[in-house]
């Protein structure tokens, strides 16, 4: 099969462009919907079948989304292999949501020169298959650091999405719609894309290189732009933290004024905020990677694992080892009978599955002194 992976070149009018959506366990429904709907609307506006799509799972069996909804696929891997584009739809706990079956199949698609894409956290799966080595990559901020640590040959960025000749990746939420609208624009021009945007009441298509918002920064930018600038410097310099005096100089203010800004708008000192930024990154690495606690302490700017553990326990309310055990599962005594698992509602099951995510329960933080 000869497939042109370049989205700028259209298929013959009689042949729909074939898209496969690979769903893994705990995939995010909003990412799937916002990726599929632009294709549906393109067909509707054009009055012809420009695109066809199929939902795929490893065994062709139903898969549960992160919100607990069960989705029945159209086919299993290998049952339907003729695609021009395959998009991996990731979601919650992506590092444990796929197997070698998906990896082998994706490698097979790459050998056939199929255009490969990923939405939300799906880029982690492409990276696991070695299919993003040397490629630019966008992914949801929650798993971006896991990709950076586990796959250093991947050229990660903080863009909303990245469209290349043979790869297309994006963050989550509603961003897949904007990536697909840009994809449509490259294949069909502005008229069709504008019509699709108008049908979705989308006032503008977001630019590829727009940075995805880092939590807290948008709110800080509204409160105090200089504060947001310092917070961004902290986020970008975790392994080798910048001294407070140097941060003040880079922000064009005095150390005392910087401390006043943090206390007024965030209720803590700059050093305590910086520590929280580093510990939040450590939390993501503990929950999403197999890096040792010593390695995590180092990449998060702590002088020793002991110092890291002490700070983590004080601020996060638990030891790093306990955090990892809660995410990856504790060892149980095989001699003891397993306790029966309660039957949960869809929302309860979704919450249980989300407990492995770094953001789980972060709104309810332990009390801490500033």
CA distance 299 to 54: 41
Predicted pLDDT of residue 343:
52
pLDDT band at 227; cut points 50, 70, 90? confident
Nearest to residue 179, comparing CAs of 6, 46, 35? 35
Is the pLDDT assigned to residue 87 strictly greater than 50? yes
Is the pLDDT assigned to residue 131 strictly greater than 90? yes
Predicted pLDDT of residue 290:
82
pLDDT band at 289; cut points 50, 70, 90? confident
Is the pLDDT assigned to residue 38 strictly greater than 60? yes
pLDDT digits (tens, 9 = 90+) for 311-364: 999 988 889 998 888 766 643 333 334 444 555 565 666 677 677 676 666 554
Nearest to residue 239, comparing CAs of 291, 306, 298? 298
Task: List, as one string, the DSSP characters of 15-35.
Answer: SPEEEEEEE-TTB-HHHHHHH
User: 3-class DSSP state for residue 188?
Assistant: helix
pLDDT band at 264; cut points 50, 70, 90? confident
Residue 133, beta-bridge partner list: 154
Nearest to residue 89, comparing CAs of 51, 58, 110, 113? 58
9 or 27: which leads in pLDDT: 27
pTM of the complete model beyond 0.85? no
Mean pLDDT of all residues in 363-368: 44
Task: Give 301's Cβ-side CA count (13 Å radius).
Answer: 19
Cβ atoms 92, 28 nearer than 8 A: yes
Which spans in 78-140 are helix H? 100-111, 123-128
Is the pLDDT assigned to residue 7 strictly greater than 60? no
**Backbone phi, then psi, for 54, in 5-degree steps?**
-135, 140
pLDDT digits (tens, 9 = 90+) for 180-193: 999 999 999 999 99
Is the pLDDT assigned to residue 5 strictly greater than 70? no
């Amino acid at each position: 099969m000869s497939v042109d992976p370049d989205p700028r070149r259209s298929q013959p009018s009689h042949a729909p462009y074939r898209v496969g959506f690979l769903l893994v366990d705990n995939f995010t429904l909003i990412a799937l919907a916002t990726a599929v709907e632009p294709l549906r609307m393109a067909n509707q506006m054009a009055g012809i079948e420009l695109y066809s799509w199929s939902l795929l799972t490893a065994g062709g069996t139903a898969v549960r989304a992160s919100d607990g909804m069960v989705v029945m696929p159209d086919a299993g891997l290998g049952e339907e292999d003729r695609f021009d584009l395959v998009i991996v739809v990731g979601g919650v706990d992506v590092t444990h949501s796929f197997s070698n079956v998906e990896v082998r199949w994706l490698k097979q698609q790459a050998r056939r020169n199929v255009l490969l894409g990923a939405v939300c956290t799906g880029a982690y799966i492409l990276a696991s298959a070695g299919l993003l080595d040397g490629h630019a990559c966008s992914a949801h901020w929650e798993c971006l650091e896991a990709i950076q640590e586990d796959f250093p040959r991947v050229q990660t960025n903080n863009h909303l999405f990245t469209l290349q000749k043979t790869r297309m990746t994006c963050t989550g939420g509603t961003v897949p719609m904007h990536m697909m609208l840009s994809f449509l624009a490259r294949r069909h021009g502005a008229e069709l894309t504008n019509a699709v945007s108008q049908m979705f009441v989308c006032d503008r298509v977001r630019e590829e290189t727009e940075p995805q918002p880092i939590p807290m920064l948008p709110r800080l930018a509204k409160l105090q732009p200089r504060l947001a600038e310092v917070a961004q410097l902290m986020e970008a310099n975790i392994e080798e933290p910048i001294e407070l005096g140097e941060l003040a100089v880079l922000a064009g203010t005095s150390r005392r004024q910087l401390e006043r800004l943090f206390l007024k708008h965030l209720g803590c000192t700059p050093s305590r905020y910086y520590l929280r930024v580093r510990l939040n990154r450590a939390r993501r690495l503990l929950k999403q990677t197999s890096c040792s606690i010593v390695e995590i302490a180092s990449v998060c700017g702590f002088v020793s694992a002991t110092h890291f553990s002490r700070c983590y326990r004080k601020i996060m309310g638990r030891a790093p080892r306990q955090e990892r055990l809660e995410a990856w599962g504790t060892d149980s005594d095989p001699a003891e009978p397993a306790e029966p698992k309660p039957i949960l509602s869809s929302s309860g099951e979704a919450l249980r599955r989300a407990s492995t995510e770094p953001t789980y329960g972060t709104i309810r933080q332990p009390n801490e002194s500033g």
